Structure 1
């Protein structure tokens, strides 16, 4: 019984060592991320929201000049662009999250 217990503990210890060694090797293979990488991700998310919002506002302003109505096309298309931009940012964050989860699963 004691021999079996020792073998189980030894297997657990070996598995822990293998896992840690694998993580270290994987970390050495990957490029290190610096602060600029994080800023670029913020920039990607920011621009993915800002561009559709500004395009929506520009289209709305053009429609307000071309066909004036009681409703504001500028506000309508501004909100539509903002909504589209938020979905776009959500999509990009989902892709990044999948990559992070894949990296964790590889460990």
Structure 2
């Protein structure tokens, strides 16, 4: 007795190269439909990118300063948390730029 074929076979995992080619094609099609971005929209994206980096950096700075004030540790926590905030902001900006 032979085994009956699956009615709904699972699709194979998509090759990363095929996924990136499809993504690039979709971007190209969107560019053909919508055209170039306006200057205002480009400036808005630059502004958003700046805020994405600055907010976590300032958050780390203020949190470190507050901890240092509470425990009287000089700038022991301010410096490292500033760098952590900058790293989080940079990572978030990189992720945001790759989705745009």
Q: What is the TM-score normalised by the length of structure 2? A: 0.63
1:44-75 CA distance string (max 9 Å, x none): 11100000000100000000000123662111
Q: Which runs of 5+ in 2 are unaligned?
A: 1-28
**Higher relative contact order, structure no. (Cα contacts within 8 Å, ≥ 6 residues apart):** 1
In 2: Cα distance, 1:60 partner to 1:70 partner = 10
Q: Which residue of structure 2 aligns with residue 30 of structure 1?
A: 34
Q: Which runs of 5+ in 1 are unaligned?
A: 1-22, 97-107
In 2: Cα distance, 1:83 partner to 1:94 partner = 17
- 2:84 counterpart SS class: helix
Q: 1:87 to 1:33 in 2, by over 3 A?
A: same
Structural RMSD (CA): 2.0
| 1:76 pairs with 2:84 | no
Q: How many residues align?
A: 71
- Which runs of at least 4 in structure 1 moved beyond 2 Å after TM superposition? 29-33, 68-71
